[in-house]
Amino acid sequence: MSETVHAKVLVLGGGPGGYVCAIRCGQLGLDTVLVEADRLGGTCLIRGCIPSKAIIHRASQFEQICRSSSDSLAGISLATPPVLDMGGLVKWKNTVVDRLNAGVATLLKKSKVRVISGWGCFSDAKTLNVETADGRITVHAEHVVLATGSKPVELGFLPFGGKVISSSEALDLQQVPPRMLVIGAGYIGLELGIAFRKLGSTVTIIEAQNQILPLYDRELVTPVAKWLKTHDVTVHLSATAKGLTGDTLIVEMADGKTVEIPADCILVTVGRVPNTSGWGLENIAVDLAGRFVKVDGRCATSMKNVWAIGDVVGEPMLEHKAAAQGEMVAEIIAGRNRTFEPAAIPAVCFTDPEIVSCGLLPSEAGPDAIVSQFPFLANGRALSMDAGEGFVRVVARKDNHRVLGIQAVGEHVSELSGEFSHALAMGAVLEDIAGTVHVHPTLSEALHEAALRALGHAIHI
């Protein structure tokens, strides 16, 4: 069976950029078709952000219970240690994913978006041929939105397969590997490495650069490094994986010597690349910027009425960036005047403790910036949760006190990221934050105190 479909908008990719764009198009009354070869929700929902946070959450709970069984934890103790059913944990994680996947499908249907399940390939810039279970469907559209996302980087000498896995396979492991070796100490590697350490794995981390989380400064990274050391996670910096022999990874250390590290599972997390192959990009004739699709401030490509959003257009490869771009493109197609000019795009590492960074780091703000931080050791809510490690930091201009960046490291600080981003988006000055009443007792009071301290009159330090 073959079918021809005509639409105002065609969205290729059902991840957070694509489905948000399609939903907004539908809300604006645009006849929209969304094509997705896999499940709706994309990497973030199906095999990334959501399932990893589910595993991380349960891993932290398991670790706390284990601590209670070996020693009294603030008056709470257990007579016997807990038993982990990794298969049951993965099954629960999948129910979370399934629920959200079904929710996306419902929202698309509510917005009258037609979803076509199958692999699409462009024959020209406005024509997509989709191979479905029931035959080919050809879609012709006035506007095309490329939202094809990204995929894990595979090392040529260490291809995925068997014990060598990407983050996607790590989230479906049915047994906790006794020895896990993580290549890459970026946020994905550390998030999963820490989670599996909590679940019982012996974890070793290999990083080619000279610090973990190399995109952040040492102040932010130090509490995470301390956690790794305290929990017996071995970290080799300035080290490079060279190859695999049986159960042993060959690693060149900082001093040039080669060592062999045995492992039951090797998790490769050395980055992600845009998904630009297999769907006919060469037939659209859009310009590229290196590996990425080149776009302007409206996410328009070099081809008229062809747009691109999310991971395929460049860093940062984050869900919230893709979703914001998707919403914007839908409104531009509907005739509204929009550009993608966020004051900042916050990033979160769900490590232990968590790290949030929004806007400029001190090193990026210049020598004349005001840098002020407030420790969670002086925050009542943090101490009441036994979460005194870390701080909130504010970076501002010295001349007019305009806030340039806000960072934090500590337990649960990811929940502060919205306030950080909002302050920068509204062009806040230090006096705005200092003059805002913050609820007590909450972690957000640390931001208030950091602003007060920058102005020279912190109360609780």
The architecture in CATH of the region 3-47+90-151+273-333 reads 3-Layer(bba) Sandwich (3.50)
pLDDT digits (tens, 9 = 90+) for 263-276: 999 999 999 999 99
pLDDT number for residue 115? 98
Is domain 164-270 given the CATH code 3.90.1200.10 in the classification?
no
For the CA atoms of 425, 430, 436, 438, the dihedral, rounded to the nearest 10 degrees, stands at 90
- Hey, do 3-47+90-151+273-333 and 164-270 end up sharing a CATH topology, with the first three levels equal? yes
Confidence of residue 67 (pLDDT cuts 50, 70, 90): confident
- CA dist 305 and 140 (Å) reads 13
The DSSP letter of residue 123 is E
Q: Which of 6, 231, 422, 440 is catalytic?
A: 440
- For 120, the 3-state DSSP assignment is strand
Whether the full predicted model's pTM is greater than 0.75, yes or no, is yes
**Among 141, 137, 111, which Cα is nearest to 125's?**
141
- Look-up of token digits 């910027």: 289
Q: How many other C-beta atoms can be found within 10 angstroms of the C-beta atom of residue 74?
A: 8
- CA dist 406 and 67 (Å) reads 33
- CA dist 174 and 255 (Å) reads 37
Residue 325 has pLDDT above 80, yes or no: yes
pLDDT number for residue 241? 94
The DSSP letter of residue 305 is T
- CA dist 243 and 260 (Å) reads 10
Confidence of residue 70 (pLDDT cuts 50, 70, 90): confident
Mean pLDDT of the chain: 95
* Domain residue spans of the chain: 3-47+90-151+273-333, 164-270, 347-454
pLDDT number for residue 80? 86
- CA dist 211 and 205 (Å) reads 11
Write down the CATH number for the domain with range 347-454.
Answer: 3.30.390.30
pLDDT digits (tens, 9 = 90+) for 106-126: 999 999 999 999 999 999 999
The DSSP letter of residue 454 is H
Joined together, the tokens standing for residue 235 give 């970290």
- Mean pLDDT, rounded, for 70-81: 80
Look up residue 393 and give its amino acid.
R
440 as an active site residue: the answer is yes
How many helices (H) and strands (E) are present in the chain, helices listed first? Answer: 13, 24
Confidence of residue 185 (pLDDT cuts 50, 70, 90): very high
Angle between helical axes of 187-199 and 49-70 (0-180°, round to 10): 40
Assign 3-class secondary structure to 223-269: HHHHHHHHCCCEEECCCEEEEEECCEEEEECCCCCEEEEECCEEEEC
